[in-house]
Structure 1
Amino acid sequence: MARILITRPLPERVMEAAYALGDIELRESTAPMKPGEMRAALAIFDAVLPTLGDMFSAEVFAEVPHPRAKLLANFGVGYNHIDVEAARAVGVAVTNTPGAVTDATADIALTLILMSCRRAGEGERLVRAGKWTGWHPIQMLGQHVTAKTVGIIGMGRIGQAVARRCHHGFGMEVVAFNRSPIETDLPVRQVATLADLAAAADVAVVAVPGGPETRHLIGAEFFAAMKPSAHIVNIARGDVVDEVALVAALQTGQIAGAGLDVYEFEPKVPQALMRMDNVTLLPHLGTAALEVREAMGMMAVDNIRAHLAGETLPNVV
């Protein structure tokens, strides 16, 4: 019977499906795995179901050159915490869970757009603190979203889902920056540079994959090109945005606000960001809906099932 490690507790429906695959060991901790745990997992189990924060680096694989585990069935669409090339070099396949996360993550982008532009987080804190003195005509004036311009950085599944919501839901003009030509039925104006997008957008949404190629893609130059009235939203990976540059841009009024679901050194959030009222902070809620997490888990389980049966992996990366 195959031995399988699941590195974090998953929804009950997913666990039930997993238990049918073999001898399951569930790691009860919700914290990321430590290097020693990852090395042991590669040596002891036939397959591992890891997730965000389980840093399967080149160093980890180098210390287990002949792993028993031949599959890392990642729970999540993003897999920048796994060195895929190093995994392949020692015969370990990596899969992910695309598609299942698209709509939920796009919904969080719209949540952050509205919260940041309309000062919703600041307003809620005002009410909870008992400091609201009642409505008046110039109370907490924010930025109107309808018919404004949204700039989307990365027009993959999630970027296009955000664009669709912004265009059809709020009548927004969509400009986008993407490494390759954009194929979509939406009226999108693709711009040549990030600076072009920054200058055009009333709200910029970061939706690119994480990894070395996109680390600090958004930094001081980007913020300098934005309008002082503009907002930035990050639903990608935290280190895509240079957090130091973001703090500086917000503190100096270079940009109007930010909505963040991810952080460069997650779960650590800079005190400077927490102190600013023009920043909306969410605890990585992108896919945090039961149906979505179940769908993600079932995709990971299906990848393991295919691996154990010697079939083509449905979602190999």
Structure 2
Amino acid sequence: MALSSMTGFARTQGALGPQTWVWEARSVNGKGLDIRLRLPPGGDALDQPARRAVAERFKRGSISLGLTMTSDDQEQAYRVNEPLLKKLLAVTRELAMDGVDRPRMDGLLGLRGVLEPVGQAEEEGVREAREAAQLRSLEATLDALALARSEEGGRLAGVLAGHLEVLEDLRAQAANAEALRPDMVRARLRRQMADLLEAAPDALPEERLAQELALLAVKADIREELDRLGAHLEGARELLTRGEAMGRRLEFLSQELNREANTLCSKSSDVALTRIGLDMKAVIDQFREQILNIE
């Protein structure tokens, strides 16, 4: 299964008799699955089936789904839902008492359910046939949306793989840095111990000196950080090849990568090694920004 993005767009048209309709689906980033559905008056029966169809296909993303309908029936007319309009007018009067401007009548008439289509009564079989055809159109719309998200995910997978290659190269540079050569480490430890002794020649007992030397040696050793960086990079590459809904796992790995890069910078006492750590952090930030688009 290819890696999937959370951004995409799809549009399909359908028709049955005098009725024509258009489904439009837009998807953007989201922490979870957020479905926003807009149906025309009389389309409430499609609400739950449409939401189930979306949830079956997608795990994450803010998805806006809308259905618009038109009719070639020239005898179509509309009537005002007077009970609903009276309730709305009562609400506006109460709000006006609190200083809120009353809405215009054309605004009230534009609210869903205030104007209702009227005409010849629609037979139940005709309505069910139209709804079934609209759900088939919806399936095609969601298939197209899934394809669009998959294509965008393929592009992002290439970008993310490029970031991982850069991070692997930086890790190799850090592992081969001159500051990590044994002779350089020993020389640096000697200088640091000499500084300690010069600062307090009689105040540090032998045990304290041994402790300070051990602490300096641990601080100078970044091999564990480099090993963990390598393991996290390998895990990220594996997730990219597996595809599926891996956005949250990649987000977790990016946090771990950033933690190791921070530790490397804090331990480093060499300018070149610090620069490598800062370059890592910059690439990890770019990696994390792209992951926000992954399902």
Question: Do the structures match in fold with TM over 0.5?
Answer: no
Q: Which has the higher helix share?
A: 2
What is the TM-score normalised by the length of structure 2?
0.28
Q: Which has the higher contact order (CA 8 A, sep 6+)?
A: 2
What is the TM-score normalised by the length of structure 1?
0.26
